[in-house]
Amino acid sequence: METALARLRAKTDQELCTLVARQLHRSRKLAKRGAYSDAAKEFLTARALLSVAVIPAAERARLELLMHEVRQTIELPATAVA
């Protein structure tokens, strides 16, 4: 039973990784279209999902780098206007 739960958790975490990546790509596309509020919502959802996923360090690093890039895309217009 324990191994079945471990496999289910691993599968769930992998699916969370996929979902986080999709959310971040969607956020980037929204920001490029000028929908910064929607982009921020997608970004925050991705960040929340990533915080609960138990994933390998390399995968987490890849997603955190993507998250950093997306965050810069979302914040750029606010700093460019100032």
pLDDT tens, the chain, 82 aa long:
789 998 998 899 999 999 999 999 999 999 999 999 999 999 999 999 999 988 999 999 999 999 999 999 888 655 554 4
Query: Going from the N-terminus, what domains does the chain have, and what CATH number goes with each?
Result: 2-81 (1.20.58)
0.85 exceeded by pTM: no
Amino acid at 69: E
- 11: tokens are 């599968």
Spell out the long-range contacts of 11-15 with Cβ–Cβ below 8 A and sequence spacing 24 or more: 13/53, 13/54, 13/55, 14/55
pLDDT at residue 81 in the model: 47
pLDDT at residue 77 in the model: 58
pLDDT at residue 76 in the model: 61
